[in-house]
Chains A and B, each alone.
Chain A
Amino acid sequence: MPRELTQNRIQKIWMSSKGDRPAVPRRGGGPHLANPPTVIVMVGLPARGKTYMSKKLTRYLNWIGMPTKVFNVGEYRREAVKNYSSYDFFKPDNENALKIRQQCALAALRDVKSYLTDEGGQVAVFDATNTTRERREMILHFGSENGFKIFFIESVCDDPSVIASNIMEVKVSCPDYQDCNKTDAMLDFQKRIECYKASYQPLDPDQYDRDLSFIKVIDVGRRFLANRIQDHIQSKIVYYLMNIHVQPRAIYLCRHGESTDNLQGRLGGDAGLSPRGKKFAAALARFVEEQQLKDLKVWTSQLCRSIQTAEDLGVPYEQWKALNEIDAGVCEEMTYDEVKEKFPEEFDLRDQDKYYYRYPAGESYQDLVQRVEPVIMELERQENVLVVCHQAVMRCLLAYFLDKSADEMPYLKCPLHTVLKLTPVAYGCKVESISLNVEAVNTHRDRPEEVKKGPGTLLRRNSVTPLTSPESNIKKPRIDDLDDASIQEVPASGLCSPAHLALAGQNLRRSSAGRHDVLQPCQ
């Protein structure tokens, strides 16, 4: 019996049209990446970079399409105990505090469970010190009760200068210390660390913990110990952790100079620079020199306009095919008007869902993310880099660095002749937009006002649907049975059923203008 296949209109993915035979789980692009859900459990003394790694990992996993969320127990504690007074709270003999801390951990775990079972999450990052075996046993028990895989990430570091620097970078300015001066904050925090040290039981790969799956990150990545990596996602996490570093550096993203195709409003193609584009190349060279960077790497795509732009810099550059502009397939080299005229239906479909939409015989933003992932991995390894690329590609890269969702990505503003300078700072990335003052056409098409949502099914491909790392603690922890009257009970505000999950027949819920979080609280 020949199987009838139809190609879904937005993603151009072939699927069996016979409803009776759902032999196929509708997952393209990659293997089952994280079935069952995984809880990543951070382990380590304070100021060891646990939250830094949690946030970065979460951003990366969401970008590659793995719904991930951080659950920071410290935040639950700050909700429960409105005012932080001093490190005394963390003393091992402070029974009242211990109770609260335990409750916070439990509340966070409850939310983890809810995220992974009811909200479509695949990975939950449990960000806390988790320094005792007792606490970790509890988590392991929680995992096995619910069918979650548990993967520990322990950060071990004894270098006092690294620790002091961490404290300065993220602790002295944290809510706990908002009314303190820096010196006092530093002192208090160090005493806080001492409170934990006495009871700290590191993971023991030789005996006690030899059957657990974990990675120990030692001295900010100088050394790693990986034990019993179970599956694809753990392997990718380990690879990612081994490639990131904390050296200060800057990443410069820009597009090629204006091209002759840009002037005509044509998509794609492989045209050279227009006269203004060449001016930009010269201006870029001056800009780079002014930055006085040590050891700048320059990357381009393999398209002429990007290379022409880099040629003027007078430094060696590397060409990446992976940085080529999105392939517009049959629409290559057409203007938007020509596309509208020749392929009106395609034109509409693209506006309906620009992220998932794949040009006929071309690519989608979703495909781009997968293509560009090795570039991101190498950017993490490198230090100062200038990437001369293209509009759609730059949007993908920017979405990774700025934690933008799939929904927002295709509408990020990446104008010609403007350099974006990204500098890692604290838990995120600072962006400076620098226009080099050379006129150019505008190639940005805003999201159309009225987007008719078709009833089409969207196939959720695990490997490539970036989501913004969800805001933590949109709702407050439900902490019961506590004596302290200052703690308010907050009703559980269940998050909507996940907008990003596309089981057959479910419509993608879209947020309108503003913050395009995929998960939004229902009112």
Chain B
Amino acid sequence: MALTIDTSTEQKTLTQTALLKIWVPWMGYNMNRRRGSSVPQFCNSPTMLVMVGLPARGKTYISKKLTRYLNWIGVPTKMFNVGQYRREAVQIYKNFEFFKPDNEEAMRIRKACAAAALKDVAAYFTREKGQVAVFDATNTTRERRAVIISFAKERGYKVFFVESICDDPDIIAENIKQVKFGSPDYMDRDTDEAMQDFIQRIECYKATYVPIDDEKDRNLSYIKIFNVGSRYLVNRVQDHIQSRIVYYLMNIHVTPRSIYLSRHGESELNLLGRIGGDSGLSPRGQKYANALATFIKSQKISDLKVWTSHMKRTIQTAEAVGIQYEQWKALNEIDAGVCEELTYEEIQENFPEEFALRDQDKYRYRYPKGESYEDLVHRLEPVIMELERQENVLVVCHQAVMRCLLAYFLDKPADELPYLRCPLHTVLKLTPVAYGCKVEPCFLNIEAVNTHRERPVNVDVDRDPEDALLTVPDHI
């Protein structure tokens, strides 16, 4: 059972929760206030992130990316795209005339859509315990923004505006190509027609666009992003989460590039089915390292950065590639604490309850004297931030670490993260595209053991060993 420190009768008894290994004054203590167990929660009032800007200025791109990042670091965030509400309401989009400022019928519908979205924002905060809502719409008039501000004020939500300003016609044309042609609005049009219509749509907004005013709006909290990040104006950051958001926005870019994720080559401990440790490569692992070098050369990547962990097996792998590499301790494999270097069979034998708890909630489960996936995510956040700043990078890391990074790029939720497939000897090439990330797995044709353990059906602490070990992959 949970460890109990029985102090004297005057003192409170602390117990350590079984799964998270957090010391609490008594079992059942309400820790719900805080989600992340590694880091204090800094969001007290819910926050609305309100996008502002003409169409094709990257608002949805920023909204989606920010939502993905905040969710990954453990801040429950959801995006509300008013355009989608409009598409629901007006099943068929005819042309830009819908957006003309004098189209009263359309105006009514658009206002109603915004109101419906706001209603859903409120529901998200109150019923679904959300922390951040990203309100993705043009919000280009003072009037519309005033509505949002008063909505938030009534309910005690904080508001932070993100305005994207861009007048570079090339960037705008590129944006339109990347994401608008594929939108449901333009499904049956040819690209020229779509481009013309969209440009007219933008003109409809331009007439009434009033950017956030640095004088009149000086008491609002906002960031203005100019020309895809060449300049930022930040006003009145109120709290931790807004500061993190600003930092993130200032580090992301849209320059095309690729991120290559790979594990180290097969290690000696992998062969024996042992977890953790700091062993070197097996012969097949070394073969992989050489194959990786060949693969990288074939990709003809300009200016590739290579990152490894501090563990021997990743460094040995990177050495073969022959490019300068940086070692990050933050990329070290998850610390399995007392279970380091054990096989799953040994864990089952020595710590059957721990083994079961891990299967119950693999994301939050912390090894005794070790880490959880949740801890890993917090450890990896600076790596993600730097990955966002960089261009072409090859990251040679470990299974659990790679799952965390992959979950960030592919927007996988916490319950899927620990079960993402990251086999040995396979490079994943990630390329940002439109609103997301394209993944290309490249198996380099060197055999290796399988280290992926699926969640068994029976996760009960009283289960039989056979049930527990059912999904353990083969090893020596």
Contacts and interface: CB of A to CB of B under 8 A. Distances in A.
Nearest to A28: B327
Interface string A301-322: 0111001100110000011111
Interface string A259-278: 00000000000101101001
Contact of B14 (A29, A308, A367, A370): A308
Contacts of A278: 7-8, 10-11
Interface stretch (B95-103, B158-166, B316-324): B316-324
A298 to B, nearest CB: 10
Contacts of B39: 320-322, 374
A370 B7 CA distance: 34
Contact of A304 (B14, B232, B316): B14
6 contacts: A31-B386, A225-B232, A312-B11, A318-B34, A321-B39, A361-B340
B328 A223 contact: no
Interface in B316-370: 316, 319-320, 322-330, 340, 369
Given A30-B326, A31-B386, A275 B8 contact: yes
B234 A242 contact: yes
A372 to B, nearest CB: 12
B319 A23 contact: yes
Contacts of B280: 5
A272 B240 contact: no
Given A235-B247, A272-B14, 17 more contacts: A2-B281, A3-B320, A14-B312, A28-B310, A28-B328, A28-B329, A29-B329, A225-B232, A226-B231, A226-B232, A227-B231, A228-B230, A270-B369, A299-B40, A319-B22, A321-B37, A321-B38
A272 B4 CA distance: 10
Contacts of A232: 386, 389
Contact of B40 (A25, A308, A318): A318
A205 B14 CA distance: 57
Nearest to B231: A227
B7 A273 contact: yes
B201 interface: no
A322 B327 CA distance: 20
A235 B232 CA distance: 12
A27 B326 contact: yes
Main secondary structure of the interface of A (DSSP, over half): mixed
Interface string B414-455: 000000000000000000000000000000000000000000
A35 to B, nearest CB: 12
Contact of B324 (A23, A205, A272): A23
Given A5-B315, A304-B14, A226 B234 contact: yes
B35 interface: no
Interface in A484-499: none
B286 interface: yes
Contact of A224 (B233, B240, B251, B378): B233
A24 B320 contact: no
Interface in B229-254: 230-237, 240, 243, 246-247, 250-251
B144 interface: no
B375 to A, nearest CB: 6
A412 B25 CA distance: 32
Chain B CB within 10 Å — which of A229, A275, A374 has the most? A229
A13 interface: yes
B305 interface: yes
B5 interface: yes
A226 B7 contact: no
A153 interface: no
A227 B281 CA distance: 46
B305 A378 contact: no
B23 interface: yes
B313 to A, nearest CB: 9
Interface residues of A, number: 58
A340 interface: no
B129 interface: no
A235 B310 contact: no
A272 B315 contact: no
B286 A2 contact: yes
B470 to A, nearest CB: 31
A311 B328 CA distance: 36
A24 B324 contact: yes
B234 A224 contact: yes
A311 B24 CA distance: 9
Nearest to A268: B369
B409 to A, nearest CB: 19
Given A226-B250, A278-B11, A304 B23 contact: yes
Contacts of A332: 369
A66 B328 CA distance: 16
A176 to B, nearest CB: 35
A24 B325 contact: yes
Which interface residue of A25, A28, A312 has the most chain B CB atoms within 10 A? Answer: A28
Nearest to A227: B231
A381 B235 contact: no
A307 B14 contact: yes
Contact of B240 (A226, A238, A378): A378
B175 interface: no
A132 interface: no
Contacts of B369: 270, 332
Contact of B243 (A16, A243, A370): A243
B11 A31 contact: no
Most B C-beta atoms less than 10 A away, residue of A31, A231, A367? A31
Interface string A475-510: 000000000000000000000000000000000000
Contacts of A7: 312
Contacts of B311: 14
Contacts of A242: 234, 237, 243, 246-247
Interface string A375-392: 000100100000000000
A307 B25 CA distance: 9
A225 B233 contact: yes
A476 to B, nearest CB: 40
Contact of A28 (B42, B281, B326): B326
B12 interface: yes
A372 B379 CA distance: 11
Most buried by B among A32, A225, A231: A225
A82 interface: no
A239 interface: yes
A83 B319 CA distance: 61
B458 interface: no
Contacts of A3: 316, 319-320
B243 A381 contact: yes
B252 to A, nearest CB: 11
Contacts of B38: 302, 320-322
A519 to B, nearest CB: 26
Interface string B269-286: 000000000101100001
Contacts of A28: 310, 326-329
A361 B340 CA distance: 10
Nearest to A218: B235
B191 interface: no
B16 interface: yes
B316 A308 contact: no
Nearest to B378: A321
Contacts of B14: 272, 304, 307-308, 311
A30 B7 CA distance: 43
A327 to B, nearest CB: 9
A311 B14 CA distance: 9
Interface-centre pick from A3, A231, A378 (highest chain B CB count, 10 A): A3
Contacts of B232: 224-227
Q: Which of the listed residues B23, B37, B233, B312 has the most CB atoms from chain A within 10 Å of its own CB?
A: B23
A223 B25 CA distance: 42
A14 B307 CA distance: 14
Contact of A370 (B8, B41, B230, B329): B329
Contact of B322 (A23, A235, A381): A23
Contacts of B286: 2
Residue picked from B5, B312, B319, B386, most chain A C-beta under 10 Å: B319
A320 B379 CA distance: 12
